[in-house]
């Protein structure tokens, strides 16, 4: 079968590899759609040939099942949760693989025609949803959904989302769906435009304006201050902003990775702030995101600007991380259509 492998810096190639085999409790999924995530950038910058293959936002068609598989069968359409746990601990038994205390494996290989995955990681796709929607279900939308589910955000709350890449845009859509009034903060004008399209009432450039970002946000909330800052950029400056702009008892929702943050604990204590951290999503989160999609309360396809075939990845992958040509979110689409009658 065909697979894209990395052989060095900016050297991706389509190669022929053996077909995967389904082990105990596993199914073979023919990849029909695979989102390209910002965390896939490593694949573009490897120093030498990598045996590991990127691509973890997968939806596709079950074509074979291994021994012990109970609920899936060939022909089922599924979205794949990209995190594999031990499968036996309490967290795994409730489908929260990312909280497994024993072993957490981040599954890739979505830039392949077929992959072997645990049955327990597969969510049956509703017939009304496309493979493309399914590919965005667990990571792109499930990640912010899982984070916001750990809060009480609701109607009347004031929120700012910092960092308006695909995850941040999904966070905006989900915050608006919850009834919050949302401001967006991002230095890239095109992303600010997308933020408005996703329901943000205000989109601010952190580096522009004489009025000052803090003052803009204070005016936006009518002087109340923010109830939530949903941090999706992984920048320390976003935390500095949060400590200045949050109202009493405000909450920072940390989604963006690798920010180094220094603060005085007195600022946290005296303002009664809460910090919530969350990584990826569980199976229950995926089920809830799918329900929102089916009911039309969120539309993940609104942020998809580019679609590539598997064979196009070597030539187009760099464009994803340059964010050139109007690219916001890209999806690798393989042939065959979907049970929903579209990609």
For each of the domains in the chain, give its residue range(s) and CATH number, in order of start: 2-141+281-333 (3.90.180.10), 151-277 (3.40.50.720)
Q: Are 304 and 116 in contact (CB under 8 A)?
A: no
- Which residues, at least 6 apart from 198, have a Cβ–Cβ distance to it below 8 Å? 169, 172, 173, 176, 302, 303
Q: Which has the closest alpha carbon to 333: 160, 113, 175, 155? A: 113
Task: Centre a 10 Å sphere on the Cβ of residue 5 and count the other Cβ atoms it contains.
Answer: 21
Q: CA 42 to CA 153: how far, in whole Å?
A: 34
The whole-angstrom separation of Cα 343 and Cα 339 is 9
Given a cut of 70, the residues of the chain with pLDDT beneath it are 209-211, 324-325, 336-343
Token reading at 157: 């709350």
Identify the pLDDT of residue 106: 93
The torsion defined by the Cα of 326, 53, 168 and 173, in degrees rounded to 10, comes to: 90
The per-residue pLDDT for 326 is 79
The CA distance from 175 to 76, in Å, is 32
With beta carbons less than 8 A apart as the criterion, state whether 147 and 175 touch: no
Contact 66, 24 (CB under 8 A): yes
pLDDT given at position 324: 65
CA distances from 31 to 91, 104, 207, 328, 337 (A): 27, 22, 41, 22, 11
End-to-end CA gap in the chain = 21
User: With a threshold of 0.75, does the pTM exceed it?
Assistant: yes
Supply the pLDDT for residue 339. 33
Which residue reads 């949302």 in tokens? 182
Round to whole Å and give the CA distance between 272 and 317.
44
At 91, list the tokens: 């967290």
What is the C-alpha to C-alpha distance for residues 303 and 328, in angstroms, rounded to an integer?
A: 6
Instruction: Give the model's pLDDT for residue 168.
Output: 98
Rounded CA gap, 62 and 118, in Å? 11
Structure tokens at 295: 């009911």
Q: How many residues does the chain have?
A: 343
Q: What is the pLDDT of residue 273?
A: 97
CA–CA dist 325, 20 (Å, integer): 35
């Amino acid at each position: 079968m065909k697979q894209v492998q990395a052989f060095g810096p900016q050297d991706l190639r389509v190669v022929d590899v053996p077909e995967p085999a389904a082990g105990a409790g596993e199914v073979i999924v023919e990849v029909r759609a695979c989102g390209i995530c910002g965390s896939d950038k490593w694949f573009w910058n490897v120093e030498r040939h990598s045996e590991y293959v990127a691509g973890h936002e997968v939806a596709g068609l079950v074509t074979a099942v291994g021994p012990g598989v109970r609920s899936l069968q060939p022909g089922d359409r599924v979205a794949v949760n990209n995190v594999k746990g031990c499968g036996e601990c309490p967290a795994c038994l409730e489908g929260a693989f990312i909280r497994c205390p024993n072993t957490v494996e981040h599954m890739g290989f979505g830039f392949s025609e077929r992959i072997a995955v645990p049955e327990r990681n597969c969510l049956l796709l509703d017939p009304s949803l496309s493979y493309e929607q399914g590919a965005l279900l667990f990571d792109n939308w499930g990640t912010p959904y899982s984070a916001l589910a750990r809060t009480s955000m609701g109607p009347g709350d004031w929120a700012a989302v910092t960092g308006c890449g695909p995850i941040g845009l999904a966070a905006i859509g989900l915050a608006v769906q919850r009834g919050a009034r949302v401001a967006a903060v991002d230095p890239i004008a095109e992303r600010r435009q997308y933020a408005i399209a996703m329901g943000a009432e205000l989109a601010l450039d952190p580096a522009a304006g004489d009025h000052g970002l803090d003052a803009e946000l204070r005016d936006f909330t009518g002087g109340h201050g923010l109830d939530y800052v949903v941090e999706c950029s992984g920048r320390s400056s976003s935390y500095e902003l949060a400590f200045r702009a949050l109202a009493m008892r405000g909450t920072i929702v940390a989604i963006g990775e690798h920010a180094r943050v220094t603060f005085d604990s007195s600022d946290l204590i005296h303002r009664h702030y809460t910090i919530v951290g969350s990584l990826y999503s569980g199976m229950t989160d995926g089920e809830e995101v799918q329900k929102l999609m089916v009911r039309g309360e969120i539309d993940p396809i609104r942020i998809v600007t580019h679609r590539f075939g598997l064979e196009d990845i070597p030539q187009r992958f760099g464009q994803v991380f340059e964010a050139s040509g109007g690219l916001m979110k890209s999806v690798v689409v393989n042939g065959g259509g979907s049970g929903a009658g579209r990609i």
